[in-house]
Amino acid sequence: MTKKVRVRFAPSPTGGLHLGGVRTVLYNYLFARKHGGDFILRIEDTDQSRYVQGAEEYIFECLKWCGIEPDESVLHGGEFAPYRQSERKAIYNEYAEKLVKDGFAYYAFDTTEELEEMRAKFKTHDNPTPQYNHEIRERMRNSLTLGEEEVHRLMSAGSPYVVRIKMPMNEEIKFTDMIRGEVNFHSSLVDDKVLLKADGMPTYHLAVVVDDHLMKISHAFRGEEWLPSAPVHILLWKYLFGLENMPEWAHLPLILKPDGNGKLSKRDGDRLGFPVFAMDWTDPKTGEKATGFKERGFLPGAFVNMLAMLGWNDGTEQEIFTLDELCEKFSLERVHKSGAKFDYEKAKWFNHEWIKRNTKYDLRSTVYEILSQRGIEINDNDKLEKVIELVKDRCTLLTDFYDQAKFFFSTPETVDVDSIKGKWNDDKTAFFKEWISSLDSLEWKATSLEAKFKELAAAKNIKVGELMLPLRIMLVGGKFGPGVFDIAEIIGTEETKQRVEKALRSL
RNA sequence: GGCCCGUUCGUCUAUCGGCUAGGACAUCUCCCUUUCACGGAGGAAAGACGGGUUCGAUUCCCGUACGGGCUACCA
């Protein structure tokens, strides 16, 4: 019997969608699909100051590109709407009030300055960041210390206040994480986290718990950085909805910087020269640009494949998986506990494998787009397919198709004649003249062209080896590309003749 | 500092007490290719340390070290 699951995707719309974010969403998606569950995309935008316009649309586009398509209607309706936490503001207040009434939370009137003062005052070498905890709260301005009348007076006078959770003095808080097993905390070591901010918005802590309950989430996935605040969420579940209704938690390992240590951030991408976002992203506030894997030339399948393997494997030696295969084989039991350093070389390897495994038909439209974006006109689909077939094994990124394929469609602008000039002589000129004049009567196939080429060389007593490189230079402009005769076959008789003649003139 | 999590080749990882520790990326050598790649063959390369438990520990337990995360009216 399969359990009905409902997981949530909760990317925060504070700009961009980085590797860690996509992977969390991906694992959510794989799990939901495998277990036949629903998924919800919830926008966690409770921090108004960091919220960025257009971020939601961007996230949808990224997910769509990856092949993970959440139902777009979730933003506009459906069973649990609204899905933007900023639009659910009124809901959270009710729960915060309930917590206060039941004695699990309290009002705190301390100003930012007062908090800073407190931190400065209690700061010691052994305790560099004093917490607003069971000890400190006795000395602060809150509904625990102030007395009912004063609280009432402050509130009716419109004094700003927050709601803080009242962490119990002496309680073991334990829960089972699907990846890590049992995790324990002691309540005395956790501080009285703010649940409802002065602007009436909930913090993440209150919002996840309330929304997970209201949206009937059965399994909650998030990054490992959330582990330390899990006891707050556990307690909230206990106070509000009952531990027996709490979703199962899975704290995913972090994606780390390739060099040094620490979490991978968007700055690392700029610094080390690789993308960390799924797609290009420009922060509308700062104008800061970040490049995406898509624009760098990654196939979505390769991107998803690479990301999935960064923290999971199926126990066999298989490394290449399609999204469907991942859905089928994914299991949380095999998700790793420890973080993984991101390796861009390996990421490129995945892409290369995917390009090689894709057919010319799979690649056709993507390559067409890349070439035309860079000013190459293509009006012969048949030719494009032939070129892709010939060239795809040497492309690691989709953008490599430009360098590998451009000379099939337009005469090379620069021809590196210098590298053959040294050993040039009239015999060679004569040879090439004769070869191109023989072309018209030939069957236009790579094998015939090569046969004729060799036959003529032998007749003129010139080593074939001394003629191959010149021919390549004449046709493609440099020392690269697939077999020369294959190239000639594709570009055709006229173009072959013209390129040879053009080169001969400058020799 | 405190709390929590983690620790197998340079990197990503396999191993669920029997290991001559396997694979992949990167690297090196050779082969193939009258270019550059692809491809093929091979090499070098790992269990943080110290204690237990056990006939036997990379695997289980405990310490230590190291790494990471958190420690906001950010998520």
Tell whether ipTM is more than 0.90: yes
Instruction: Give the nucleotide at minimum CA-to-C1' distance from A196.
Output: B73
Cα–Cα distance between A169 and A172 in angstroms, integer?
A: 10
pLDDT of residue A423: 87
pLDDT of residue A8: 83
Q: How confident is the model at residue A2 (pLDDT cuts 50, 70, 90)?
A: very low
Compute the average pLDDT of residues A351-380.
95
Whole-number distance in Å between A444 CA and B68 C1': 63
Cα–Cα distance between A205 and A230 in angstroms, integer?
A: 9
Cα–Cα distance between A252 and A20 in angstroms, integer?
A: 9
Q: How confident is the model at residue A259 (pLDDT cuts 50, 70, 90)?
A: confident
Whole-number distance in Å between A14 CA and B65 C1': 38
Instruction: Give the nucleotide at minimum CA-to-C1' distance from A349.
Output: B25
Cα–Cα distance between A477 and A490 in angstroms, integer?
A: 16
pLDDT of residue A325: 96
Closest alpha carbon to C1' of B74, residue: A47
Whole-number distance in Å between A426 CA and B61 C1': 84
pLDDT in tens, A268-299: 998 999 999 999 999 888 888 999 999 999 99
Q: Which residues contact A183 (CB under 8 A, 6 or more apart)?
A: A174, A175, A176, A177, A227, A230
Q: Which residues contact A248 (CB under 8 A, 6 or more apart)?
A: A176, A178, A218, A219, A220
CA distances from A184 to A131, A192, A231, A336, A484 (A): 20, 18, 9, 20, 67
pLDDT of residue A180: 93
Q: A331-335: which pairs have CB atoms within 8 A and are 24 or more residues apart?
A: A331/A34, A332/A27, A332/A31, A332/A178, A332/A179, A332/A250, A335/A27, A335/A179, A335/A250, A335/A252, A335/A253, A335/A311
Closest alpha carbon to C1' of B36, residue: A480
Instruction: Give the nucleotide at minimum CA-to-C1' distance from A204.
Output: B75
Q: How confident is the model at residue A76 (pLDDT cuts 50, 70, 90)?
A: low
pLDDT in tens, A155-205: 999 999 999 999 999 999 999 999 999 999 999 999 999 999 999 999 999
Cα–Cα distance between A487 and A346 in angstroms, integer?
A: 31
The catalytic site residues of A sit at 266
Whole-number distance in Å between A12 CA and B75 C1': 7
Does pLDDT of A73 surpass 60? no
* Bases in strand B with any atom closer than 7 Å to a protein CB: 1-8, 10-15, 22-26, 34-39, 67-75
Instruction: Give the nucleotide at minimum CA-to-C1' distance from A469.
Output: B35
Q: How confident is the model at residue A6 (pLDDT cuts 50, 70, 90)?
A: confident
